[in-house]
Structure 1
Amino acid sequence: MKYKIEVKNVQMVDEIREYWTNENYVQLLERFDYPNADDSKNENLRELLFMAITDFEPAEAAKLVLEYKLGEHLSEGQIDQISNDMLVDTVCEEYPEIELQSTLFHINQLLFKAYNGKFPSSSATIIECSIESLNNDNETSLTEEMVLRLLNNGLSERNIVRRLFEDQLKGEKEFPEAEHIIWELKNIDGDQYKITTSGNLIKKDDIISSEWEGEIEESKG
């Protein structure tokens, strides 16, 4: 299967605002002891949460948000450790369980914004591109694995994903990590896509071409 990839725009951002819903804000406000949060206007919820958060010590605030988002995935000891580590390091970029890195990013950046920089900042990369099939009869839906393998030819050899997952990108091994490397794969319209990933895993400077062709063969894994 052959494809033509054309990168339209790449930007690095320090938050993805739409990740947090008004319902999230209300539930977090309750955890931060803000009364009657559900009576507040939606447009005020974020600022109210920031004010409520900063009434707490940073590590304690981190613990409360971690418990809210990852309480079912992490032990109390892990949450205690991460809540302290977040103050000195970008845990979201280095956490060994890659499936948790995106959620840790959103938590980290919420706290970074609330405390106006007391937490180290991280980034996400948003790639807008077209991925056009060169096989007229091909109606295959693109997966995260397929997209990463197609992006491979346009990435610098220094790129972390290329260095860590060389065999997977070549299709020589299974690639379950792909769906966690790409946080969101959104088909905008036709062959137009929006890809959101970690700014640590794929930096803007890692994309060294604006247009190239790629071919995907059936995985040998």
Structure 2
Amino acid sequence: MKYKINIEKVQTLDEIKEYWTKEDYIELLKRFDYPEAEESDPETLRELLFMAISDFEPVEAAKLVLDYKLGEELSEGQIEQISNDMLIDTVCEEYPEMELQSRLFHVNQLLFKAYNGKFPSSSATIIHCSITSPDASAKMDKATILRLLNDGLSDRNIVKRLFEEQMNGNGEFPEAENIIWDLEVSDNEHYKITTSGNLIKKDEIIASEWEKEIEENSEK
């Protein structure tokens, strides 16, 4: 089946504020010894959290936020190690378990903002595009999206280099679920793709419009 891809806009962001909910801020404030969070104006919760965080040493703050977001997946020892590593390196870009990278990014950037740059900064890339095909009901999972983007990416792109067979082939591509952090679709053809700024950089998208054919068995 032949698809037409049109890149509408590409953004590089150092934070996705929408990730953190009012409930997240309230729970974190409690963990940072601010018990009155539930009675606070929702518009001030983020500012209050940053003030509360500033009373803690960076490593201790990192432990608390990591435990909140990843405590069920990481051991106490792993959280200890990551909280120290985060002060000197962008752990979210290199952590071997890809399914944790997006949450590590959000934790890292919250701390980066709260401490005015004491933590190394990372980035996210948001790609706005349209994808059309003769079959409006065609399955568009994350693996398919990445294969369609392949021809518009520079050869230096890390996803193309690390997953060359999966990007060009029709085999299993489970890593796609974690390469694309979030996928939103509107009007059946407009896509908002959120991924790591380390995995797909804005300047690595070298085409604005192209066509690509994918065999049906590549979707299975």
TM-score, normalised by the number of residues in structure 1: 0.97
SS state at 1:73 partner: coil
Residues 136, 188 of structure 2: 8 Å contact kept: no
1:82 is aligned to 82
2:166 is aligned to 168
1:148 is aligned to 146
Deviation sequence 1:21-59 (CA, Å, 0-9, x none):
000000000000112110001000000000001100000
How far apart are 1:172 and its partner, in Å? 4.2
Q: Which amino acid aligns with 2:59?
A: A
SS state at 2:203 partner: helix
Residues 85, 91 of structure 1: 8 Å contact kept: yes
2:185 is aligned to 187
Residues 102, 198 of structure 1: 8 Å contact kept: yes
How far apart are 1:190 and its partner, in Å? 2.8
2:116 is aligned to 116
Matched, 1:128 2:109: no
1:214 is aligned to 212
Quote the Cα distance in structure 2 between the aligned partners of 1:50 and 1:119. 14
Quote the Cα distance in structure 2 between the aligned partners of 1:118 and 1:220. 44
Q: Which amino acid aligns with 2:20?
A: W
Quote the Cα distance in structure 1 between the aligned partners of 2:171 and 2:25. 41
Quote the Cα distance in structure 2 between the aligned partners of 1:30 and 1:167. 47
Quote the Cα distance in structure 2 between the aligned partners of 1:32 and 1:122. 24
1:50 is aligned to 50
Deviation sequence 1:123-156 (CA, Å, 0-9, x none):
00000000011x2x45123110000000000000
SS state at 1:205 partner: helix
Alpha-carbon distance change, 150 to 43 in structure 1, aligned in 2, over 3 angstroms? same
How far apart are 1:220 and its partner, in Å? 9.2
SS state at 1:219 partner: helix
Alpha-carbon distance change, 4 to 37 in structure 1, aligned in 2, over 3 angstroms? same
1:98 is aligned to 98
Residues 132, 189 of structure 2: 8 Å contact kept: yes
Quote the Cα distance in structure 1 between the aligned partners of 2:129 and 2:190. 6
Residues 171, 220 of structure 1: 8 Å contact kept: no
Q: Which amino acid aligns with 2:178?
A: H
Alignment of 1:26-41 (within 5 A): 26-41=26-41
SS state at 1:116 partner: coil
Q: How many residues align?
A: 219
Residues 139, 219 of structure 2: 8 Å contact kept: no
Quote the Cα distance in structure 1 between the aligned partners of 2:59 and 2:171. 40
Residues 144, 182 of structure 1: 8 Å contact kept: yes
Ranges in structure 1 where 5+ consecutive residues have no aligned partner: none
RMSD after superposition: 1.2
Q: Which amino acid aligns with 1:146?
A: T
SS state at 1:194 partner: strand
